[in-house]
Structure 1
Amino acid sequence: MPQRRSHVAPSAAQTELAAALSGLRVNLDAPVEFPTAVLAEAEQATASQPELDLRDIAFATLDPEGSRDLDQAFHLERDGDGYTVRYAIADVPSFVAPGGAVDAEARRRGQTLYAADGTIPLHPTVLSEDRASLLPGVDRPAFVWTFSLDSAGAVTAFRLERALIRSREQLDYVSAQESLDRGDDGAVTLLPVIGALRIEQEKSRGGASLNLPDEEVVRAPDGAYAIERRQPLPVEDWNAQLSLMTGMAAASLMLDAKIGVLRTMPQPDEKSFDAFRHQTAALGRPWTTGRYGDYLRELDRADPLTLPILEAAASLFRGAGYVVFDGTAPADAMQAAIGAPYAHTTAPLRRLVDRWSLTICLAISRGEEIPDWVRESLNELPALMQESAQRASKLDSATINCVEAALLTPFVGTTIDATVIAVRDDRATVQIAEPAVTASAPVPAGTAAGSVVRLSVRSVDIAEGKIELVP
């Protein structure tokens, strides 16, 4: 699916939109400023020097352009007919004192929030964008996972160590993809090879990826807000496989030790599968045989009916949550979409739970006792993460609603074509191509997903993020 960006042009709409976006933080009770005590503690925070020195390894990071909160760095090399993957994770546990002011504030926030008018970080930026971040050209303590892969990309062995590293390059997705397309040698040369092998491993596990197009509110240099929708680049999918591999390794360590926190998701039930089969048949792209993950992977991203199918498939990816355990492994430890037990472990600068996962895994790897603060607070994590996830979801949806209302402001009183994505009763979710807006509208009985309808833009309310469309 090609990239599409629609801008909010009229100055009056821009002014109203800026006020609406600013108000979202207050309405959602999203903490913005850090208390003085938190900032003071963060300024003084230092990490102990790791005994292991891996600064001779040419690590690199790969993130969206302009990122400063760099959680992961990687190094890939061939090893006979297999591969060695080193995956370094920012050593946030060493910078955050358990029970301290930074720890308490991070528990209140849960995760970094990405607002249209700036991020609301989990940790003070002196940590998240400086001392703890795996920025290039500076020494950083890190949790380094080392994986041995065979020729098929299967993990044959792994270990976790705390080490001093120095990233050599800060890469972004677009330039990295362009470099690979040109055939350049560099830090990402082996990423398509290893990433493709890991995707094949995912297939063999019965894993599935939804891969809906990204929808993001961005701000242009002139201050204009826009909605950008695009299909993730291949390099993003390959890079994600390194993170998934690490999360599965962390889960296996914690399950063996019978203590930890997993990210789980149940397998869809037969009722959900049946409903999805009916939807694909109605759209003329029936899923009749094989696993649903294989069906989704084989969809043609250029087909206009693929988006309605992926929207329908979202019902198969529900019920994700966190399960904590201490002493007895959970009866159902699976993350169905991944096809294996899995733990959030690779984004401690931006997600609270990863600090617990990393601390537990390092203690297990060293044969040490799990720290008391981890055991005492483990049961709090699911509620803290659920609360922060709800806040993030509300912020994301409210932001997009406000921007979409602003985008449609010049079209009030006019008619516009839209593609029907999904139909429920007498209303449909529709996609307008230009400006790029997803909305809800009443439709005549018998309207099918994939069809094009003509709608009138009756009214918009930027502050409330509301759009009224009628046939």
Structure 2
Amino acid sequence: MPYLHPGLGDSASQQHLAVALKALRDELELRTVFPPEVLAEAEAAVAAYEFPAEDLTGLDFITIDPPGSIDLDQAVHLQRRGAGYRVWYAIADVPGFVRPGGAVDTEARLRGQTVYAPDGRISLHPEVIAEDAASLLPGVVRGAYVWEFDLDSYAAVTTASVRRASVRSRTQLTYAEVEEHLRSGGAPENLVLLREIGLKRIDLELQRGGASLNLPAQEIGFERGRYFLMTAPALPSEDWNAQISLMTGMEAARIMIEGRIGILRTMPAPDEAALAKFRSQAAACGRAWPEGMAYGGFLRSLDTDRPEQLALMHAAASLFRGAGYTAFDGEVPDAVVQAAIAAPYAHTTAPLRRLVDRFVLVICEALCAGRPVPRWAREALPDLNSLMATANQVSARMESGAMDALAAALLSDDVGKDFTAVVLAGSRHSNGDAGPRTRPSGTVQLIDPAIEAKCYGELTAGTLVTVRLVEADTARRVVRFELAAPAAAGGLPVSAAPSG
């Protein structure tokens, strides 16, 4: 989701957007304020916190996050080990600050996850935990759940375990700073190995049929009385860092499956109709998906600097659907694979921001130590599926509503203008604005700016069309296009066609 540039001012149009986003929060009944008893218990938990006995503060952990991040869930330390590697991955010790059944736990279950909006976030935990005592900030000792992996020369995992220990991050880096260090030729070993291991893990992902959707970051700016969209392609270091997190989630899933207790993140494979539709969209965008090329390999071949291929990357998200959580205690379910990852997988690396990760950490640590899983964690499993499903629905509604508001603000001066677009979803008949009569409508992705919106008219998925903006209402969060004409024969318009 695009976020608002912090330098935006107070013009009338900006105030309209702020009001629209505030109304969306109210509409979703988001819990934007922590009750006094939750804040009091959080403060008491921080004061009474006991650091884990094992001392790993001698390891050179680093954190890598977007600029301005202060709720730091993960820190990594990488070493060579013969022809292979050893990976230490510290995850914030949120369980150490949350008393099972207490006020903080109860509030976290009501929230489910941190909700992100363009103008800020609504946190899962009070700031004293999420942005201070549990956050793996640099230069201070913190408790953590520390994953230890041994990898072979191909970066495949040979052993994995997790335990509690005290750690100290040495440095907080942004992804851009990682790239700068590596370009300089004098990067520390941690960063050299991050690239080396990350690239090998990407190869393993492609071999097992997995795929990553590396969408560029977007930011809404405002200048000379109107909004504009700034897009920055994902940096390679973001992908390498994500591979460490994915590896951890895969090993957490394996440990829980072998222990016959836990909760997995699952996703069905896309059906043939969805794949065929995406192939037609790819062809319409001038970047046909070659027969025999794996889906993950095709996504990695896209150049998101090109508007038409960025639109195709957004269209690919339609295949990453149907994800949910599957809890089990005893019998392992048949469907355990997360299709996009092409392996069993669990959420475990973001406990500051996601409820389920706290339980996965506690379960995996107990299984690795050969101890019974704590009763409170076991008893929570039947409820976690529905708690996380509800939280995901709220987050999705926030994202959808915020995107509509942002799109309306961005396009507010362009009513009547024509745009080239890719049809993501063909027409279906539904009630229109004019009353009970039905109007065919579908979903389009503009080539530039890269905005997805509803469009009225007879639309066929995977085709390029010209659409006309007929309404952009920020307050109502409504953007409406109508089909102006099919795109000119021959594919992409000159302005969007690939240059090479």
- Aligned: 1:463 with 2:475: yes
User: Counterpart amino acid of 1:329?
Assistant: V
In structure 2, the CA distance between the partners of 1:223 and 1:317, relative to structure 1 (3 Å rule), is same
Q: Which moved more, 1:345-354 or 1:218-227?
A: 218-227
Q: Equivalent residues in 2 for 1:2-21 (5 A)?
A: 11-21=11-21
Structure 2: distance between partners of 1:447 and 1:387? 30
- Other-structure match for 1:41: 41
The Cα of 1:281 is off from its aligned counterpart by: 4.2
Match of 2:396 among 370, 374, 393: 393
The Cα of 1:262 is off from its aligned counterpart by: 0.3
Structure 2: distance between partners of 1:86 and 1:221? 45
Query: Number of residues paired by the alignment?
Result: 464
Identity rate, percent: 48
- Other-structure match for 1:251: 253
Give the unaligned 5+ runs of structure 1. Answer: none
The Cα of 1:423 is off from its aligned counterpart by: 5.2
User: Counterpart amino acid of 2:334?
Assistant: A
Counterpart of 2:304 in 1: which secondary structure? coil
Q: Equivalent residues in 2 for 1:207-218 (5 A)?
A: 207-215=210-218
Match of 1:199 among 198, 202, 218: 202
Structure 1: distance between partners of 2:89 and 2:223? 34
- Other-structure match for 1:431: 446
In structure 2, the CA distance between the partners of 1:301 and 1:469, relative to structure 1 (3 Å rule), is closer
CA contact (8 A) 1:280 1:287 kept: no
- Other-structure match for 2:358: 355
In structure 2, the CA distance between the partners of 1:211 and 1:443, relative to structure 1 (3 Å rule), is farther
Structure 2: distance between partners of 1:289 and 1:447? 23
CA contact (8 A) 1:51 1:163 kept: yes
- Other-structure match for 1:104: 106
CA contact (8 A) 2:92 2:144 kept: yes
Structure 2: distance between partners of 1:223 and 1:132? 42
Structure 1: distance between partners of 2:37 and 2:242? 36
Give the unaligned 5+ runs of structure 2. Answer: 428-440, 485-500
The Cα of 1:251 is off from its aligned counterpart by: 0.6
- Other-structure match for 1:118: 120
The Cα of 1:40 is off from its aligned counterpart by: 0.1
In structure 2, the CA distance between the partners of 1:24 and 1:328, relative to structure 1 (3 Å rule), is same
Q: Equivalent residues in 2 for 1:306-385 (5 A)?
A: 306-385=309-388
User: Counterpart amino acid of 1:26?
Assistant: D
In structure 2, the CA distance between the partners of 1:4 and 1:142, relative to structure 1 (3 Å rule), is closer
Cα RMSD, aligned residues only:
2.8
TM-score normalized by structure 1?
0.91
User: Counterpart amino acid of 1:152?
Assistant: Y
The Cα of 1:146 is off from its aligned counterpart by: 1.0
Counterpart of 2:413 in 1: which secondary structure? helix
In structure 2, the CA distance between the partners of 1:140 and 1:222, relative to structure 1 (3 Å rule), is farther
Q: 4+ residue stretches of structure 1 with deviation over 4 A?
A: 7-10, 218-228, 281-284, 443-448
User: Counterpart amino acid of 1:90?
Assistant: A
The Cα of 1:280 is off from its aligned counterpart by: 3.5
User: Counterpart amino acid of 1:57?
Assistant: L
Q: Which moved more, 1:160-169 or 1:176-185?
A: 176-185
The Cα of 1:421 is off from its aligned counterpart by: 4.8
Q: Equivalent residues in 2 for 1:45-444 (5 A)?
A: 45=45, 46-186=48-188, 187-215=190-218, 227-284=229-286, 285-412=288-415, 414-422=416-424, 424-425=426-427, 427-431=442-446, 433=448, 437-442=451-456
In structure 2, the CA distance between the partners of 1:410 and 1:302, relative to structure 1 (3 Å rule), is closer
Q: Which moved more, 1:69-78 or 1:46-55?
A: 46-55
The Cα of 1:192 is off from its aligned counterpart by: 1.1
In structure 2, the CA distance between the partners of 1:228 and 1:35, relative to structure 1 (3 Å rule), is farther
- Aligned: 1:24 with 2:36: no
Structure 2: distance between partners of 1:140 and 1:110? 24
In structure 2, the CA distance between the partners of 1:315 and 1:401, relative to structure 1 (3 Å rule), is closer
CA contact (8 A) 1:405 1:460 kept: yes
In structure 2, the CA distance between the partners of 1:466 and 1:148, relative to structure 1 (3 Å rule), is same
In structure 2, the CA distance between the partners of 1:448 and 1:158, relative to structure 1 (3 Å rule), is closer
CA contact (8 A) 2:113 2:353 kept: yes
In structure 2, the CA distance between the partners of 1:322 and 1:445, relative to structure 1 (3 Å rule), is closer
CA distances 1:101-131 after superposition (whole Å, capped 9, x unpaired): 0000000000011122321100000000000
CA distances 1:374-401 after superposition (whole Å, capped 9, x unpaired): 1111110011111111111111121121
Counterpart of 2:378 in 1: which secondary structure? helix
Structure 1: distance between partners of 2:170 and 2:224? 33
Structure 1: distance between partners of 2:43 and 2:216? 39
Structure 2: distance between partners of 1:24 and 1:447? 30
CA contact (8 A) 1:283 1:305 kept: yes
User: Counterpart amino acid of 1:50?
Assistant: P
In structure 2, the CA distance between the partners of 1:156 and 1:21, relative to structure 1 (3 Å rule), is same
Identify which of structures 1 and 2 has the higher relative contact order when contacts are C-alpha pairs closer than 8 Å and 6+ apart.
Answer: 1
- Other-structure match for 2:433: none
CA distances 1:40-88 after superposition (whole Å, capped 9, x unpaired): 0000103322121000101010111010100000011211221111100
CA distances 1:162-219 after superposition (whole Å, capped 9, x unpaired): 1100001111112222222233312422211110000011112111123233445x57
TM-score normalized by structure 2?
0.86
The Cα of 1:149 is off from its aligned counterpart by: 1.1
Structure 2: distance between partners of 1:341 and 1:447? 32
In structure 2, the CA distance between the partners of 1:13 and 1:370, relative to structure 1 (3 Å rule), is same
Counterpart of 1:123 in 2: which secondary structure? coil
Structure 2: distance between partners of 1:10 and 1:122? 29
CA contact (8 A) 1:305 1:450 kept: no
In structure 2, the CA distance between the partners of 1:333 and 1:410, relative to structure 1 (3 Å rule), is same
